[in-house]
Chains A and B, each alone.
Chain A
Amino acid sequence: MTLAPTPGQTVGPFFGYALPYDGDSHLVPPTRPDAIRLHGRVYDGAGDPVPDALIEVWQTGPDGAVPRAAGSLHRDGYTFTGWGRAATDRTGHFQFTTLRPGGATPYFAITVFARGLLDRLLTRAYLPGAAPEHWPGATARADDRGFVFDIRLQGEDETVFLAYAQD
């Protein structure tokens, strides 16, 4: 039996009072010694920042293990759930406080939603040097606090978005 998929629709302009929540982008407290920052800006095809996008991150911890703990919506300050959410601000900027992902090819799995974007987009933000050979897109770049990954929805430097092979 194969059921037809339910199509996606845009997140629209009014998610801001529904989806963000206290602590959404703090996968770990910023005071934790091994906390890093993952941040960036979302741009449209004219190079203008997108102030009404929502970015989600899903990642392993430094040990490379897939987190299986609940608690992302009410964080206890100690449990690493591997998942977070950040709305962009007026300048299109988003940021997460998190841990460095581990494993053989460490990356942040990223989901992008925005007003004007009719379905979600998925991508990988590989750590510098971690992407497979011939990876067609940009990787995250290091800065003094962690990593930067800008998202360009359209244009010359358009982010490489992913389609996953079906069974």
Chain B
Amino acid sequence: MTELAAAAASSASSDAASTSQAEISAEIDAIAQEYDAAQVVETDARLDYPPYRSSILRHPTKAPHQVDPEGIELWAPVFGQRDVDPLESDLTIQHRGEPVGERMVVTGRVTDGAGRPVRHQLVEVWQANAGGRYLHQRDQHPAAIDPNFTGTGRCLTDGDGTYRFTTIRPGPYPWRNHHNAWRPAHIHFSLFGTEFTQRLITQMYFPGDPLFALDPIYQSIVDPAARARLVATYDHDVTTHEWATGYRWDIVLTGSHRTPTDADTEDDQ
């Protein structure tokens, strides 16, 4: 970053820049202790989580209105072979050369809460490159752009609900939530179920990341078991000889109400 850009950035977020990691960590710890004391299990991210500063003005304050899903909400959009080229699941072949970094395969199953596979449905991913840099105009992190890596991919799950991507292990990256803030390495995932209400965008993390405890986005899922569900597992059976390391990450989409139809359960629709 140039001095000028750094000055502009710090004046635009002087509040954030003056908050230390220790202060953010203290806020995270206080919320964790309060959660432990309450003894009520939460399974989702909290929308109101002040350590993530950008959430302060962007979370609803009123309780959601309870409804029964009806009509269109009992269905999800259909994606098919017309929508996705099978090559889009390999993020390492989008340019002339090999991207820099650790080549890896990420695979897993998408199911509903009853364990039924979500078949032939769209999965989208995006991520930083090995140096922690996104190919996005607003990413000003002064790490190298990799001309051989865009960091976006798509696939359809197969008849068993399985998705599979070949990519590069992303690097951690700094952000401006507070002074010296770093995100643990992650891959953004976008998923559709068999119903509108199952729509999910989330992030997949890597085992043992030292940044977990410091990251307000990961910690916004205050239940330790729930946030551990976002961490992939290293799987040597997915690792391939002299080619790529392998990670497994299964995804559960809840909110299913409609009795599945033949179209949902047949292998080859």
Contacts and interface: CB of A to CB of B under 8 A. Distances in A.
Interface residues of B, number: 82
Interface class of chain B by DSSP:
loop
A116 B48 CA distance: 10
B260 to A, nearest CB: 13
A154 B44 CA distance: 19
Interface class of chain A by DSSP:
loop
Interface in A66-119: 66-74, 81-83, 101, 103, 105, 107, 109, 111, 113-119
A64 to B, nearest CB: 8
A136 B58 CA distance: 20
A60 B71 CA distance: 9
Nearest to B67: A162
A69 to B, nearest CB: 6
B241 interface: no
B196 A153 contact: no
Contact of B72 (A50, A59, A162, A164): A59
A166 B257 CA distance: 7
B73 A109 contact: yes
Contact of B251 (A2, A6, A58, A66): A6
> In the complex, which range does the number of interface residues on chain A fall in?
35 or more
B59 interface: yes
B73 A164 contact: yes
Contact of A113 (B63, B126, B151, B201): B201
B114 A73 contact: no
Contacts of A72: 77, 79, 83
Interface of B: 43-47, 49, 52, 54-69, 71-73, 75-84, 111-115, 122, 124-126, 128, 134-139, 150-152, 154, 188, 190, 196-197, 199-203, 217-218, 220-221, 225-227, 229-230, 251-257, 263
